[in-house]
């Protein structure tokens, strides 16, 4: 086994050495979301550190439009030289199901580089709702089909899908969906009682729960969150449930494997650094610092299958 490992390393060395001439110019890192948001901030942290590592600038470009489509399409059609990358989220996994006529294939046109981490949600309800636990909330919904509603950060968005998965796994509960332009826009209606429930990323929901302005019932992670150690997981009530958004770096399909491997190793070093890991964890992220291009590709395929099934079952259409 040791001999085989040494032989593999020796064969890979020339390819890695050739890749070290990359990057030859500033690298563009396209982010499909606005500057200053929960996706943009980790992307900028990573870009800054990669700039130091490689001696070339990694420049974040916020390319918004049609969800993730505009940015993704630009990267899919970029030269296959590692100079243009995509920093994306779960929106990439649902694009094909929501937009049947995509100008790109979310699997075939991309080479996964590194899985950065995942950010789980917290289930929140209006503080006056007569439900202090998740089982009580589900019983309330079950007793009055269609009476209650829930907010999301947009039709077909990560929160919409995570909630539909929860309702489906709870037995197909009937709760009316109300879509907003982001969870920030939805929060006032949750606080006022116009909507009964909302899932949101843990870091966003934390201050409202701590102030007692809304009530947290459960987290959507497989294990209890260090940010909410006293809150149970949804899986404690609905076995097998887990939902999260995730962050991943993708390159155009056909990017040289040695370049992909070099970039993967550099990203893993950044997110494993205790300082940067603490920053990302403070934003609610469960960091993945040991991904490979192969494991990232397998994860992406699994996420696409998971969420396409939810979209089909719930009959979700892009607005």
Q: What is the pLDDT of residues 242-272, one digit of tens each?
A: 999 999 999 999 999 999 999 999 999 999 9
* Cα 230 to Cα 132: distance, rounded to the nearest angstrom: 13
Q: State which of 17-26, 200-209, 291-300 shows the largest mean pLDDT.
A: 291-300
Q: Is 171 left (phi over 0), alpha (psi -120 to 50) or beta?
A: left
* Cα 110 to Cα 253: distance, rounded to the nearest angstrom: 4
Q: What is the pLDDT of residue 203?
A: 85
Query: How far, in Å, are 160, 299, 312 from residue 307 at the CA level?
Result: 11, 12, 9
The whole model's pTM is what?
Answer: 0.86
Compare 116 and 6 and report the one with higher pLDDT: 116
User: Is it true that the peptide bond before 23 is cis, omega within 30 degrees of 0?
Assistant: yes
CA 37-39-41 angle, to 5 degrees, is 65
Residue 234 is given by DSSP the state G
The total of other beta-carbon atoms located within 10 Å of residue 30's CB is 24
* Cα 19 to Cα 261: distance, rounded to the nearest angstrom: 9
Q: What is the pLDDT of residue 20?
A: 61
pLDDT at 150 over 70: yes
Residues 6+ apart with CB under 8 A from 310: 161, 164, 165, 168, 316
> Would you state the torsion angle of the CA atoms of residues 9, 14, 17, 22, taken in this order, to the nearest 10 degrees?
-110
**pLDDT confidence band for 134 (50 / 70 / 90):** very high
Q: What is the pLDDT of residue 9?
A: 40
């Amino acid at each position: 086994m040791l001999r085989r490992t040494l032989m593999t390393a020796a064969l890979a060395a020339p390819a890695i050495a050739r890749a070290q001439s990359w990057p030859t110019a500033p690298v563009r890192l396209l982010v499909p979301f606005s500057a200053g948001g929960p996706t943009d901030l980790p992307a900028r942290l990573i870009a800054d550190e990669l700039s130091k590592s490689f001696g070339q600038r990694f420049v974040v470009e916020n390319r918004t439009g049609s969800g993730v489509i505009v940015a993704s399409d630009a990267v899919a059609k970029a030269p296959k030289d590692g100079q243009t990358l995509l920093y994306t989220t779960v929106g990439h996994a649902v694009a094909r199901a929501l937009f049947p006529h995509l100008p790109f294939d979310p699997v075939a046109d991309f080479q996964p580089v590194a899985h950065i981490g995942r950010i789980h949600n917290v289930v929140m309800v209006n503080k006056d709702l007569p439900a202090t636990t998740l089982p009580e909330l589900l019983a309330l919904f079950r007793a009055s089909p269609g009476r209650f509603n829930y907010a999301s950060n947009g039709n077909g968005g990560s929160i919409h899908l995570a909630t539909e998965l929860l309702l489906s796994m709870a037995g197909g509960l009937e709760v009316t969906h109300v879509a907003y332009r982001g969870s920030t826009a939805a929060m006032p209606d949750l606080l006022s009682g116009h909507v009964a429930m909302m899932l949101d990323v843990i870091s966003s929901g934390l201050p409202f729960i701590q102030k007692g302005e809304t009530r947290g019932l459960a987290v959507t992670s497989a294990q209890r969150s260090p940010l909410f150690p006293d809150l149970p997981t949804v899986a404690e009530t609905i076995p097998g449930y887990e939902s999260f958004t995730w962050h991943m770096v993708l390159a155009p399909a056909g990017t040289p494997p040695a370049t992909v491997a070099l970039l993967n190793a550099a990203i893993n070093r950044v997110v494993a650094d205790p300082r940067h890991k603490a920053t990302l964890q403070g934003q609610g992220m469960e960091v993945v610092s040991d991904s490979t291009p192969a494991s990232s590709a397998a994860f992406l395929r699994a996420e696409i299958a998971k969420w396409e099934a939810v979209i089909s079952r719930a009959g979700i259409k892009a607005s």
